[in-house]
Amino acid sequence: MFRHLAVAAAFANGRRARSVDLSDKVAAEAAGETTIVVDIRRQPKEALAMVSKLQAGRESGLAPVVMLAPRALRPAVMRRLESVGVVAVISEFEFSVEALLADADHAEELMAARRRGAASRVGTTKTAAKAGSGDSGARPSERAELVSLSGEAPGAVEAGAEDVATDDRADHVTSVEQRSDGVEGVIVGGASGQQTTFSREESMEIVRGFAENSALAPNVQYALKLCRDSSSSAEDLAAAIKRDQALAVKVLQMANSAVYRRGRAVSTVEQAIVRVGFGAVREAIMSVSIIEQFNCTGDGLPSPLAFWEHSFAVATIASGLAQGGDACSPEDAFLIGLLHDIGRIVMADRFGSAYTRAIDIAEERGVAPEQVERELFEVDHADVAGEILRLWEFPEEVVRPVWYHHLSKENVRHLDSEQADTTRLLQTADRLAKLALLGDGGSDWIRPSEPVKNGDEGEVERARTVVQRACDSVLDVRSTLGALLQGSLGTDLVTEMQARIGARAHARFFTRSRGGHPYRWLANRLAPEKEKSENLAIVHADSAKDLEAIAKDLEQLDARRQGRATPVLVLKSTPGEVSLGSLGDRPAAQFAAPFRVSEVVDGIGELLQTAAEPSAAAA
């Protein structure tokens, strides 16, 4: 019934739909289709292999896939399916013709945008072409392929729906071996030699060993529980802190840092609560407890200070965004933000050189680390963090957003509303922290985001206030974090990235989004505005129309620069390249999300160098 409704829906929308079975002929037949709808109810274990086989017959890149499932899939399974083109999953109880049609349309648009945007992430400075004045790309095709996995009894779904195997490691797999412990692995080729990867079961067994051997102390667990309880009293919290003398000392140290101190320094826990504030002490307890629990010194990780700066920034932003919202409490938001990347620490600690190799491979291939984590370990750091927090008996409302925070926005839509809201809040906080260059969580990839709508001025202003508070807090708390970690402060990320540009940059930021856009944070941190000293324009534009509207502002900037053409860096918040024709002959480069902050930094450096060459030649 479910499958036949899908076929009917595709016909109703003018698409060509048919059911095929798993055979060698399928891939060739699917090669001409642009959308694939896969029903995996009967053979869930074959889902990844089936989709991979269908995609293998295509010369034009991955086709978008909408998957019909018997129920919601686990996050790790959903992420592995994304690697072969699955952009949406509809569970059986959510199915409707309207949902299928909407996901099919969106899937085609998304995959087309991804194909168009692949070249835009190269980051090479170039001169804008005069020809063309619209966004490239075609309308989504009106053809769809329905693939049904048949031949197995429906009852098999319960036994294996969450055990979809992964075969998406072809780029680096050179052979298969049987390990001495009986676990089948693969040999990963690369410039640095060969490294055996791990099955999901083996990876999770190693993670569980960490969780058992590094469990939170009862006093810390109790203190964290009180921190999450908005009804707990100051007396309750003070008593919990005093149970652990080391914790009390470090909480006082954190409470006396510039970020929290209000007036004179405090010397007792009671004073800290009264003078610094109940909420600030709760944040201090959570920060100290988590930082003390994890040893962030493994290869493949940023410095401990940079890592916890990022985590603290995400926590602060998430807490601020949760104020007055429906997603979760500010206390839970802070804890979720603080914990969201701990899986990276555990993987570096437990997998050692194998994890270092994963980071190297991600760098070589120009992909996000979590993608290679899934290929080599069949889990990523979000899975690892989620499993640890589950074993440590953190509540579901904390565990789930951490577990889900690398899901695509298409799959977040299929979570229940509360989990989806909290997951989006965490993803937003993480993106804002990266754009503001607040620490280094191990990845500088900026995800695509929805364009800011005209009615969102209040939300943009609130986000601006929250991010500014986080910038101030991280700046003030650096010395305290350094003391807790017993390490040198080193150079902050903003200073490091500005030095990497190679020349002093002062940019004017332009956007058509009413109320502003978060990309302004990245622009101002890399190239702070300075009146009459601008040597760069950084533009947020999601369409050629946006660029055309900003072109007049650029001409005015040129006039202030004695007629010299201002180089332009275009940042696009959605996948796909935008035509630069309206920019004329001026040097220009563009980056469409997903992009790396480091790529943008190098792009700015190249632009400024290109703009300086004609001046040097003229002189």
Say what the pLDDT of residue 548 is: 92
- Tell me the pLDDT band of 205, cut-offs 50, 70 and 90: very high
**Sign of the dihedral defined by the CA atoms of residues 386, 389, 390, 395, in that order:** negative
The predicted pLDDT at position 240 comes to 76
Of 351, 282, 345, residue with least CA distance to 316? 282
Using DSSP bridges, classify how beta strands 65-69 and 36-39 pair: parallel, antiparallel or unpaired.
parallel
Question: What pLDDT band is residue 522 in, cutting at 50, 70 and 90?
Answer: very high
CATH architecture of 215-345+386-490: Orthogonal Bundle (1.10)
Determine the average pLDDT of the residues in 402-425: 90
Give yes or no for a contact between 223 and 404, defined as CB atoms under 8 angstroms apart.
no
Tokens, residue 218: 């009862």
**What is d(CA 529, CA 244) in angstroms, rounded to the nearest whole number?**
48
What pLDDT score was predicted for residue 446?
94
Tokens representing 574 are 């959605």
- Arithmetic mean of pLDDT, 585-602: 93
- The candidate with the shortest Cα–Cα distance to 373, out of 207, 590, 162, 609, is 207
- pLDDT tens for each residue of 206-248: 999 988 888 877 777 777 777 777 777 777 777 877 777 777 7
3-class DSSP assignment, residue 125: coil
66, β-bridge pairs? 37, 88
- Answer whether 243's CB lies under 8 Å from 219's CB: yes
Say if residues 583 and 569 touch (Cβ distance below 8 Å): no
CATH superfamily of 496-618: Cobalamin-binding domain (3.40.50.280)
Report how far residue 242's alpha carbon sits from residue 10's, in angstroms, rounded to the nearest whole number.
64
* pLDDT > 80? residue 480: no
Q: Is the model's pLDDT at 279 over the cut of 80?
A: no
Which residues in the chain are classed under CATH 3.40.50.2300? Answer: 2-119+143-165
**Would you say residue 304 has pLDDT above 90?**
no
Does 443 have pLDDT greater than 50?
Answer: yes
Beta-bridge partners for 147? 38
What tokens were used for 28? 């060739």
Task: Identify the band that residue 140 occupies on the pLDDT scale cut at 50, 70 and 90.
Answer: very low
- For the entire predicted model, the pTM comes to 0.68
Superfamily for the 2-119+143-165 domain: Response regulator (3.40.50.2300)
Residues of the chain with CATH 3.40.50.280: 496-618
Query: Is the pLDDT reported for residue 82 higher than 50?
Result: yes
What distance in Å separates the CA atoms of residue 534 and residue 518, rounded to the nearest whole number? 20
DSSP string, 437-460: T-S--S--EEPP-PPPPTT-HHHH
Q: In this predicted model, what pLDDT tens digit does every residue of 19-49 receive, in sequence order?
A: 444 443 444 344 445 667 777 766 666 677 7
Q: What is the mean pLDDT of residues 500-511?
A: 92
480: Cβ contacts below 8 Å, ≥ 6 apart: 253, 254, 256, 257, 259
pLDDT for res 295: 73
Instruction: Kindly state the average pLDDT of the residues 374-378.
Output: 92
Compute the distance between CA of residue 37 and CA of residue 579 in angstroms, rounded to an integer.
32
The model's pLDDT over 344-362, given as tens digits with 9 standing for 90+, comes to 999 998 998 899 999 999 9
Could you tell me how far CA 613 lies from the centroid of its own chain? 37
Cβ(174)–Cβ(68) below 8 Å: no
Q: What mean pLDDT is predicted for residues 262-286?
A: 72
Q: pLDDT, tens digit, for every residue of 109-121?
A: 665 655 555 444 3
pLDDT score for 613? 65
Residue 400, pLDDT > 90, answer: yes
In angstroms, rounded to a whole number, what is the distance separating the alpha carbons of residues 263 and 280?
14
pLDDT by residue (tens digit) across 568-583? 999 999 899 999 999 9
Q: Provide the pLDDT for residue 527.
A: 93
Per-residue pLDDT tens over the stretch 156-168:
233 333 333 333 3
Give CATH 1.10.3210.10 domain extents, the chain.
215-345+386-490
